[in-house]
Amino acid sequence: MTTLLIHCTHGREDPERATLAFIVANVAASADQDVVVLLTIEGVWLATSGYADNIQKEGFPPLNDVIQSFRGNGGQIWACGTCAKPRGIQEGQLIEGAKIVTAANVVERLMNGATTLDF
């Protein structure tokens, strides 16, 4: 099984990149691959409840629909703790299935051979 770490640094300010990260992740998850979307910088907002509700790039499906499909296919969502802290994001604000992680979690995944893709 392939292990993927898809890194997303964008939210509302770039809906195309935010959506593409989850589209690629969802394709992999629907093929039974082990996939984590790592949200950093402004991307951490995507892990919060309600944030993605009205994000849609013209010609793309609504981001919230893609995120829900990704989760339904077994994908994991990790929000960078170092990025979440200065934005005041806490565990209680996260969507179902998302969690705040440390740099150690990311390094462990990379050291275990995860393939990465950045958006």
pLDDT of residue 31: 96
Mean pLDDT calculated for residue range 17-39:
97
Mean pLDDT calculated for residue range 71-90:
98
- pLDDT of 74 > 80? The answer is yes
Domain encompassing residue 87: 3-118
**Residues with Cβ < 8 Å from 39, sequence gap 6 or more?**
8, 9, 45, 46, 47, 77, 78, 79, 80, 83
Average per-residue pLDDT for the chain: 97
CATH of the domain at 59: 3.40.1260.10
- Number of structural domains (the chain) is 1
- pLDDT of 2 > 80? The answer is no
- Whether pTM exceeds 0.85: yes
For 31-50, write each residue's pLDDT tens digit: 999 999 999 999 999 999 99
pLDDT bracket for residue 116 (50, 70, 90): very high
